[in-house]
Amino acid sequence: MRDTDFFRSWMTEAAAAVDREAGWLTELDSPIGDADHGSNMRRGFTAVLAALDADAPATPGAVLQLVGRTLISTVGGASGPLYGMLFRRAGKALGDAAEVSDPELREALAAGVDAVAQLGGAAPGDKTMLDALVPGVAALGTSYRAGAEAAADGALATVPLRARKGRASYLGERSIGHQDPGAASSALLLRTLADIAERAEGAR
Ligand code: ADP
Ligand code: MG
């Protein structure tokens, strides 16, 4: 079972990864966007850490809902409301349980991903974060590491795609040949989840 600490650790690890990779995420957002995805995400996850410290939410669901609300109010851009929705909906799905099972977490994240698709009107293949999130969350059924790897593969597979949603879609054909920044950050989030899950196993 995964307790509140597990989710706090995930967010701490995610914030560190976003901080480390912010330059790269912004670089990905240069040719097919407005070169702000890394700074948007860094601002959001810095605020997430501050909010978790200030509020100390008591359950996994409350952690994820606070993360979602914080991302909505701080990330900006297209990705802020979408990542906000992902975490808020997943948090809601977890309810007020003190601990959640791996299948419950997977189901909650799947509900979050569905909500992102509904809010943004995108589907896999449109060259967005969904190209990492959909295969990544599906593969969590195998293992956390399999989820991280499927998300990374999905992010890389956005390179030859033509963007059909978001800012990159304005470029039409010229969006081809570049990795989608949101797919890259989504893969990062699932990689940190796998890292934390493996660390928790090791500590048992
Ligand atoms: P902005 O595009 O407003 O500058 P960001 O640079 O922070 O915002 O985020 C861009 C990312 O948001 C894209 O790489 C893509 O993955 C994601 N995105 C944009 N629009 C959508 C959408 N409609 N559905 C899903 N993801 C989207
Ligand atoms: Mg941008």
Residue 76 pLDDT > 90: no
Cα 202 to ligand 1 centre (Å): 35
**Domains contained in the chain, number:** 1
165 pLDDT band (50/70/90 cuts)?
very high
pLDDT reported for residue 158? 98
Mean pLDDT along residues 143-150 = 98
b/e 55-73 (16+ beta carbons within 10 angstroms → b): eebebbbbbbbbbbbbbbe
Residue 183 near ligand 1, beta carbon < 6 Å:
yes
Q: CATH code at 114?
A: 1.25.40.340
Residue 112 near ligand 1, beta carbon < 6 Å:
no
pLDDT reported for residue 65? 98
On whether residue 204 sits in a domain, the answer given is no
Per-residue pLDDT of 83-131, as tens digits, reads 999 999 999 999 999 999 999 999 999 999 999 999 999 999 999 999 9
On whether residue 57 sits in a domain, the answer given is yes
Q: Which residues pair with 99 in a beta bridge?
A: 3
On whether residue 94 sits in a domain, the answer given is yes
b/e 98-115 (16+ beta carbons within 10 angstroms → b): eebeeebbbbbbbbbbbb
Q: What is the span of the domain harbouring residue 135? A: 4-199
pTM: 0.97
Residue whose entry in the numeric block shows the structure tokens 């190209």: 131
Tell the residue nearest (CA) to atom 7 of ligand 1.
Answer: 37
| Residue among 119, 167, 179 to mutate when testing ligand 1 (max atoms within 8 A of CB) | 167
On whether residue 178 sits in a domain, the answer given is yes
